[in-house]
Amino acid sequence: MAETPPRVDPVPAEWWERLVARLIEALVFGVFYYILFIALWGIFRTVGVLEVFGGRLPGVFAWVLAGLGYTVYDWVTLFRGGRTFGKAIMRIRVEPAPLASREAWKRVLGYPAPAIVMGIPVLNLLAGMFVFAVGLLILMDKPLQRGPHDRLAGTIVVKDHS
């Protein structure tokens, strides 16, 4: 009679593993933002609209585009396999994986979608406070360490089986 392998319950990822995964991604998308900013600065300067809104226009557009790109990227990776490249490096993943399209959208609208408005004055403060609150709620939710975006989508971030 064949033995069934023992069931391994998922172990929630530590808060710092999730943070490092997002910081890795933020570094890459930060580079993407600066490339967009420089390109848009050149375009807006060439067409003569660089000084509109006190010279903030290239930054606002770059943040919106980079934030939108990050949000779509996060959705695609959750929809396809439950792991971004930052999560892969940290050996954590979102369960259940892959997510259905609707649940993936629910999760990314809670985070990282607020990054879309980070370049817009006043909205950037609100988005920053929201993202900070999400981080605090992850720290306070014991033992699963789920944020509001996890709860909304019915997900949990877990460590890979070793």
Please state the pTM of the whole predicted model.
0.86
Tell me the residue range of the domain where 142 lies. 15-46+54-159
Identify whether 9 is part of a domain.
Answer: no
In sequence order, which residues have a C-beta less than 8 Å from that of residue 96 and are 6 or more positions away? 82, 154, 155
Identify whether 77 is part of a domain.
Answer: yes
Identify whether 89 is part of a domain.
Answer: yes
157 bridge partner residues: 94
Q: How many domains does the chain have?
A: 1
**Cβ–Cβ under 8 Å, residues 107 and 99:** yes
- Per-residue pLDDT for the chain (162 aa), expressed as one digit of tens each? 566 665 668 899 999 999 999 999 999 999 999 999 999 999 999 998 888 878 889 999 999 999 999 999 999 999 999 899 999 999 999 999 899 999 999 999 988 999 899 888 899 999 999 999 999 999 999 999 999 999 999 999 999 975
